[in-house]
Structure formats: structure tokens, C-alpha cells
Amino acid sequence: MPTPNTPSVPEGITLHTDTLYRSAEYGDNWCITWADDDSQITSMDDGDWLGSRAGGENRRGFHNRLYRIIGDARDFERQELTGYPDFSGPEGSWFGYGIICVDGVVYSAASRTPGDAWSGPFRGIKLLKSADGGQSWSRVDRHGAERRLAADDEARNLDTAEEMFSLEEFGRPHLQQSAYPFSFVDFVQHGQNNGLAPDDYIYVYGPEGAHAHELLLARVEKSQLGERDKWRYWSGEDAGRPVWSPDIEQRRPVHVFPDRSAGGDFFGWYSWLPSVVFNPGLGLYIMVNGGTYAGRGLTSSDEDYYDKWMHTKTGSLGFWYAENPWGPWQQFYYTDYWTADDPGNLTYQPKLSPKWISEDGREMVLIWSDAMKDDEGKSHTVNYKWNQMAISLH
């Protein structure tokens, strides 16, 4: 069990707005891992981060791509992993979230929408695997069987039960309409190539789809990540020790976030996907997370909860710490409505870089997405790109 190197724990943060950087090209969501070659690899949705595809930076489809980040927070270059399956196009509609590099192998989880465009809730995930640094990829079915997928392979968009790692499974209703657990996920990051992990498990977080403020957790031995029946689900504690069940129906939330703001605005289904990194300087896990407000009336109705245009207000932002990858999580910063540099910001999906951490652990880098509107009222335009700034923990 990691223990802090100092007697103190975080009590707040400072956001260094003078370090704010935004890339020129479009994209969002930015789940990120630290690879064995010292680069970082990030997933990106709905954009073209290098402006290199046909149509340049204005080409925005429903898909996900992967990019390699080389350098430090103040000076880095980007490279697209062109061997990754190209999910763009109306027949696709996949969005990439969880990504992890462990023992030189990169895993990427792509979530499937219900239709041929952005909407929710997600139906499940396709698990992809690369053993050569992201040059070539295979899909992994729920039994661990692999099949090579070239970038333009027709099979990349197949979403049958045989092709998917999970598909419309173990749903629970919000009020009447159901959504699915672990239909979009992120992995706990333990330094470069997962080299700081305290055990042989990969830890996987995801919101309870129909009640996104309830945070779920699973773990699986790293050699068995691609075998769904080997996953074990957090189902509570016994005498202070975590209980892991092979039965996903026994799942319980490992942490519960607010379901609405202090003013009564409800969060929607597309909320509370955490970014959790181990901070070796502090000997602690740091989580950043945020809620995205529901659509239209911002109520708890199914219609508002699942509305696809949920960026009606800027999202919330919070930070938590824990000594274990499963918590318990202690909050040290939270605001219901977070803006970085403009009251018109519509922030969502905050992330932490697992690499850009100071030696003493007190300096980290926050990355986020922003659906800010332009002067004509069109959302996802002004800052719909990679946003980052340095933060201090104190």
C-alpha cells in the first residue's frame, strides 16, 4: 500500500492560468497513458489534431483516433498512430476513452453509440490491443481471442456480441430508460508502462450508466485484461477490506458524486468519468473528475438525463486523493461550475497527465475539453481542442 512521503495531504489547488495552452486543431476527451518508450498516447474524439486528414482541422466526424505526445508540458510534438482502426464515417460512430500501456502492450477501449452519430447512452465497448507500440492493432473479444484489424478493415465497425468486449449488458434504468455499466471507462495510471503498480492488477473505472454519479470499479490481472470473465467488481467492504465479486450484478459504487449542483441543476449520463493517476512524489492517487449537466431543462427526467446536447452549462470540477487505487477518496477541491479563462467556457472531461508531474508531486498538468460557443451561438467551436494548464497541489 502506498504511503505519503510527507505527513501532509492535499488541501487545495492553484490553477495557473498564465500557463494555459490550447492547440490549434479540433478534438476532445483526451484519455492519456504513459508508454514504455517515454511518450504519452492520448485518445481523441471528433476531430483531427494535426489537421492532416482531408479537409484539415475542420473535418469533424464521429470517430476516435490515437496520437503520440513526445516532450514535456511546455514543448511537445504530436504524431498520429495511423495504424489504429479508422472509425470515421456514419457507419462507425465510436468514441475512444480508456487507454493504458502495460508491459509494452497498449490497450484502447472504444465505446459504441446507439446510432450513427453522437448520442447516448453508449451500448458497450470494443477492446483493441497493440503489442508493437501502436503500429498495428487487433480487436480482443470477451474471451481474449484476438483478430488483426488494419486501419481500413471492414470488420472495424462490426458491433455484434461476438466482436464486442461488452454490449448492452447488465443495464439498470434511470427512471425507465436503461443504460449500461462500464460502457465507457478509464484505467488507473501507474507511471510509465504501468511500472509503479503496487500489484499485478489493472484497475478500471467507469460511471454507472443510468446513475452516472455512482462510480464503479473493476480490476483484473494484467495478463487477463482481455478476458471478461476474469474481471472482478467492487462490491463493498468487509472489515475495511475491499470485496471483489466475479458477478457484475453485485457491483456497488466505490464513490458517489453529487447528482446535481447546489442550485438544483442535474448532471446527465455523460458525467463523472475519472482520470486517476498515481503521484509518486506524494505517494498518493490523485483523481480529477467532473459532472456534465443534463440537457434542456436540466432535470432528472429520462429525456433530460439522456439528451445528447448536454453542454448547456459549464461542467463541474473536483479533485480527490487516496492511498489505494480503490480509495477511499477524499475531496480537496470542488466547484459546481468551472471556467478556465472565460465565463463562456463549457468545460467537461478533465484529465491529468500521468507523466507531467514534478518530482515532489506538487505540480501536475490538467487537461480538459471545452464546448464553448462562438459569436453565432454554435457550440464546440471556440475552444473545442486540447486545453491544458499547470496546477499546484497544496
pLDDT digits (tens, 9 = 90+) for 152-183: 998 999 999 999 999 999 999 999 999 999 99
d(CA 272, CA 291): 5
Per CATH, is 13-393 categorized as 2.115.10?
A: yes
- Percent of residues, the chain, with pLDDT higher than 90: 87
The pLDDT, as a whole number, for residue 169 is 97
Give the pLDDT score at 6. Answer: 47
Considering only 73-77, 112-116, 142-146, 262-266, which range has the smallest mean pLDDT? 112-116
Q: What is the pLDDT of residue 88?
A: 72
Average pLDDT over residues 291-303: 96
Show the DSSP H helices in the chain as ranges.
302-305
Residue 220 binned pLDDT confidence (cut-offs 50, 70, 90): very high
Question: For the chain, what is the mean pLDDT?
Answer: 94
C-alpha cell at 36: 514504455
The tens digit of pLDDT for each residue in 68-90 reads 999 999 999 999 999 999 987 66
What pLDDT is recorded for position 57? 46
Q: Judge whether residue 329 has pLDDT over 90.
A: yes
Closest CA to 362 of 284, 281, 283, 287: 281
d(CA 27, CA 134): 20
Asked whether 384 and 28 are in contact (CB, 8 A), the reply is: yes
pLDDT at 5: 47
206 in Cβ contact with 216 (< 8 Å): yes
Neighbours of 23 (CB within 10 A): 16
Cβ within 8 Å of residue 325, ≥6 positions away: 188, 198, 203, 219, 276, 278, 285
Q: Using alpha carbons only, give the angle 97, 352, 38 rounded to the nearest 5 degrees.
A: 85
Q: DSSP readout, 324-379?
A: STT---EEEEEESS--SS-TT--EEEEEE-SS---TTS-EEEEEEEE----TTS-S
For the cut 50, the answer to whether the pLDDT of residue 1 exceeds it is no
* Residue in the block written with cell 467556457: 345
Give the pLDDT of residue 64. Answer: 87
Q: Which of 349, 339, 260 is nearest to 297 (CA)?
A: 260
All three cell numbers of 316: 463541474
Coil, strand or helix: which one is 115?
coil
Q: What percent of the chain has pLDDT over 70?
A: 95
Q: Is the pLDDT of residue 234 over 90?
A: yes
